Amino acid sequence: MEETIQPLNRVALELGPITIYWYGLIIGFGAMLGLWLAVRESERRGLAKDTFVDVVMVAVPVAILCARLYYVAFEWDFYKDNPSKILAVWEGGIAIHGALIGSFLTALIFSKKRGISFWKLVDIAAPSILLGQAIGRWGNFMNQEAHGGEVTRSFLESLMLPDFIINQMYIDGAYYHPTFLYESLWSFLGVIVLLYLRRVNLHRGELFLTYIIWYSIGRFFVEGLRTDSLIVWGTSLRIAQVVSLVWIAAAVIIWIYRRKAGLAQKRYLES
């Protein structure tokens, strides 16, 4: 007999015609907590208090737009026949790599206009970005998405997971790997590592490059377990794994080049 397990309600609040989903609330909470962390650190590093508030005001909408366009582009076979779904971000379907690309471009333009070092800006932002990602994955949990392949309930119980997570991983008559949780825990651990490395006083830019490497390593392995991966057109390659490998290689090359070219002489704690 098939088990009857009621999933958690994706809707947090309904105000007349307005429906507020947990997905959006959780992502918003992650962004706000990340902003709070960045503002505190930016003041310590001698930047104006409103610097990151100004960045976020532009970066968030650009990141959401880029994340959605990135996802839609690689799922075009579906969206070309369902154009009304293209803007339905509350149903899920925003790609973090697209969001990061949009955010990095925003930071690059913003830093040039404000006369602030791009590397200083993204170094400060790195732990905040990863914290937002760690929290944001719980939005996927509420939507029962970004999960891995099929497993047994006994396997999930062997991971010492609470019942509310195990039950939420019961989808259409089967249990699945909670890959959202694996990535979230990896990201939370990365936040701790980055906060520690701030005290080590790496060369400018290297905290951000560490973030790129750390996140990409975790994403590469987690993506291998997922069943909803975006695929490179005309191949069986998972786009997130390809991008992760490219980003790791690029971060290492940039790290070495900046050191050898003398472009990373200043350290994180220097003004």
CA distances from 1 to 4, 111, 152, 173 (A): 9, 60, 15, 10
258 is an annotated ligand-binding site residue? no
Tokens of 179: 């890959």
Contact of 195 with 205, CB cutoff 8 Å = no
Residue type, 103: S
How many residues are recorded in the chain? 271
For tokens 């291998």, name the residue. 224
Task: Tell me the two tokens of residue 42.
Answer: 């930016």
Label the pairing between strands 174-176 and 170-171: antiparallel
User: Kindly report the CA angle at 110 between 108 and 115, in degrees rounded to 5?
Assistant: 95
- Euclidean distance between CA atoms 13 and 4, whole angstroms: 25
The CA distance from 135 to 139, in Å, is 8
Q: Provide φ and ψ at 15, rounded to 5°.
A: -120, 90
Helices (H), 115-223: 118-143, 153-158, 163-168, 179-200, 206-223
Q: 9: which DSSP letter? A: P
How many Å apart are CA 253 and CA 240, to the nearest integer?
Answer: 20
- Picking from 137, 271, 269, 101, the residue whose alpha carbon sits closest to that of residue 197 is 269
| Binding-site positions | 137
